[in-house]
Amino acid sequence: MIENGINRRDFLKVLGWGGATISLSGCGFTSIENGKETVVSYVEFNEYALPGIGVYFNSTCAQCDAGCGISGRVREGRVLKLEGNAVSSVNHGKMCGLGQAGVQAHYNPDRVREPLLRTGNQGEAITWDKALGLINEKLGGVKGDEVAFLTGGVSGHLKVLLKNYQDALGSKNHYVYEAVSPSVVRAANKKSYGVEMPHLRLDRAKVIVSFGADFLGAWVSPVHFSQQYAQFRKGTRPEGRGVLVQIESKMTLTGANADRWIAIRPGTEGVLAMGIINALGKAGLAIPADVAAASKAYTAERVSGETDVSAEQIDKLAHLLKTRTPSLVLAGGAAEGYAHGSQNAAAIAMLNHVLGNVGKTIEAPSRVPFPQVEAAVGNRIAVQALNDQLAKDKVKVLFVYGANPVHTAPAALKLKDNLKKAAFKVVLANYMDETAMEADLVLPLDSWLEDWGTSVPEYRAEGVQLNITQPLMERLHPDTRGAGDIFLSLLKQRRAEEYKKHEDFYAYVRASVLSIKNALGGMGKDDDLFWDETLSQGLIKLPGASAALSAKAGPNISLPASAAIDDAYPLRLIPYVTPNMRDGRNANQPWLQESPDPLTTIVWDSWVEIHPVTAARLGVEEGDIVEVTSRSGTIKTQVYVFPGIHPDAISIPYGYGHQALGRYAKEVGVNVANIMDQITDKETGELAFNETRVKVSKTGKRVIIVKEEGPAGGQQMGKKIAVRKSSDKVDLSKEV
């Protein structure tokens, strides 16, 4: 909107939060803008397109890895608003905030627009031909095992091409990295249920006991689980209205929705699970002999001492689970984020077996009929392994796509330094993020609203779905390209004969899908018709049988004794994956920064949550700037006093504190990865998210926190945005 030189911030400063009508110019008239706006039409326009009338196209959201379907409203050749795709079994027409902010990922002013070649500390814009030629040149004389690929989770036809390119180069080094993946839980699931991610039926459970699984917020597939949760809460379903119990050290969005929230001593989730099994046995539930033997030692007395959960509470939980069946017990990031995380997850899985939930609320996922397009799932060992190889000078050429490890991996890994050892680094990126800043060559990508592709979400919501990504408009910047097209071009350098029949990635995907048309329900249909229908729907539902779930794992649980308090670093750090920021990849979308955190309502900044008792002991108040120091580093941020956290823990949100990624992300908040200790789960080697121990010290500085709740006023990114004035001091009579 035109503001005619009136600075909104000054204006509001004068009036407090009251407002008078903002007057606009006009010869004598107070509300018409006269010649102030220009309106620009197209030079040539499609005859059938009507200005003002929106057409909807279906595609797939790429803001996180859940793979919800979107339906985008396109007006005059521009995508303006995203809604959910009603046909998608993942989200059934609903959307989360990240999806809504998707247009900001697309129209972001900080998108990379041309291939950039590093010359000293600058990036020089070069042509695509030169860029691709340079890659070919740098690969010459390099052995296959000296080439590495670091990507996020990939699936669909892009994964196929990527794999073929790796084969063409003779490289087996594909590191799939996801910063916030529940990989420990996946490994434990594989042992306990036979599959990494079973199909969960929240809507069939009478009770859900979640050990820190934030399924309404940021865990696995939040939109899908939210819908199941809505069913779960319906009093009219045969199971009656469900009861949710959340057990975690720091309250998540799901925890805030729970009927009972139990603050547990960090790391003792497995102990509590065993204690519940013990209590179930005492309450008369039939428990297999070996499990009973394993849980014998976990008496209510011992468990309550270790976990800070009272014996009465444990009995209540056992009683709840015994009488209301089927139930569902979930192990989330909170439980798995320790050096014994695998044991925690195993104990929780055992609880599910004991309660007889397997087969009722924990089902086998559908099998993907075409394994080549199945999702390659990421974890955090990937970046640790790559880091090791880089440190040993084993990587000469590195390709990075869909990952930003320089920001998300713990600084303790020294990844940034190790990256310098790779001779040639190619980063495919939408924005200059921290990893792209370290690249030798940056290839600009189409946004996911301009690109072609297919994908299969890792979490299969109901049956298997091949999601289609199609452009909702012509590309905004003429020199960006889709990742599929880039890898196809690179493949053509190596295997020209095999791939020359595919003009571009779109042609490749189309031909590939049509070649299995009969298996996809298109038997007897005309090729073009089938393809049009597929694009119109935005997805293809694949036939998929389910394998059965295996029997339970043996009860080889060995949980460590409670760790001694480290006097130097007395508090446990819990990096919190917020529903808005997740791993921080969308931090440059202002709508997400503007969306208040569900628990603290803080915007545009980081914070550290401290329990009131601990805050009193430390002598800090809300807004105090404190230094949070671990063995690996130190960061400074503002205190938020919050009762929803265990007194021995503090929590800082993950994904903030970018040093790059554009104007909306840079220097907003602090990066908690800078102080995370590189401690790993003993069994899987995964980064133990919650193992970092810290101490907190005051700096003497205090700010007013900018948040939705409470009185107005504060500082936003260092600038005062409004004065804090009590309402009896505001005199509007002079202003209006």
Partner 1 sequence: MYCHTGARRSTVAAIPPLQKCIGCHMTIASVRETPRIQKLFEYWDAKKPVPWKKVHDLPDFVRFNHERHIKRFYFAQGKPVKEVCGYCHGDIATMTVARRQKPLTMGWCVTCHQKDHPVDAVSTKTTHGPNDCWQCHK
Which positions touch partner 1 (CB under 8 A)? 1, 24, 29-45, 50-53
Residue 76 vs 239, nearer CB to partner 1:
76
Residue 30 vs 733, nearer CB to partner 1:
30
Dihedral sign computed on CA atoms, order 149, 151, 157, 160? positive
Q: How far is the CB of 4 from partner 1 (least distance, A)?
A: 12
- Residue 474: is it exposed, middle or buried by C-beta count within 10 angstroms (0-12/13-18/19+)? exposed
Q: How far is the CB of 25 from partner 1 (least distance, A)?
A: 11
CA distance 146 to 254: 44
Indicate the residue type of 287.
I
Q: How far is the CB of 74 from partner 1 (least distance, A)?
A: 14
Residue 45 vs 393, nearer CB to partner 1:
45
Helix (H, G, I), strand (E, B) or coil at 187: helix
CA distance 624 to 314: 37
Residue 33 vs 388, nearer CB to partner 1:
33
CA distances from 436 to 401, 402, 429, 712 (A): 10, 11, 7, 38
Q: Give residues with Cβ within 8 angstroms of 360, minimum separation 6.
A: 201, 204, 326
Residue 52 vs 141, nearer CB to partner 1:
52
Residue 33 vs 735, nearer CB to partner 1:
33
State in Å, rounded, how far the first CA of the chain is from the last one. 21
Q: How far is the CB of 49 from partner 1 (least distance, A)?
A: 10
Between vectors from CA 218 to CA 688 and to CA 682, what angle results, nearest 5°? 15
Residue 17 vs 45, nearer CB to partner 1:
45
Q: How far is the CB of 79 from partner 1 (least distance, A)?
A: 17
Residue 27 vs 496, nearer CB to partner 1:
27
Dihedral sign computed on CA atoms, order 110, 116, 118, 121? negative
Please, what is the angle between helix 505-515 and helix 156-169, to 10°? Answer: 110
- Residue 126: is it exposed, middle or buried by C-beta count within 10 angstroms (0-12/13-18/19+)? middle
Q: Is residue 71 within 8 Å of residue 57, measured between CB atoms? A: yes
Query: Is the bond preceding residue 326 a cis peptide, omega within 30 degrees?
Result: yes
Q: Find residue 443's DSSP bridge partners.
A: 428
Backbone angles phi, psi at 103, to 5 degrees: -65, -25
Which of 359, 351, 349, 358 has its CA nearest to residue 280? 351
CA distance 363 to 203: 12
Q: Is residue 145 within 8 Å of residue 389, measured between CB atoms? A: no
Residue 44 vs 728, nearer CB to partner 1:
44
Q: How far is the CB of 35 from partner 1 (least distance, A)?
A: 4
Q: How far is the CB of 450 from partner 1 (least distance, A)?
A: 21
Residue 49 vs 732, nearer CB to partner 1:
49
Residue 40 vs 289, nearer CB to partner 1:
40
Residue 28 vs 524, nearer CB to partner 1:
28
Indicate the residue type of 635.
I
592-595 contacts at long range (C-beta below 8 A, 24 or more positions apart): 592/97, 592/98, 592/101, 592/104, 593/664, 593/665, 593/668, 595/97
CA distances from 631 to 340, 414, 529, 570, 577 (A): 20, 14, 62, 12, 22
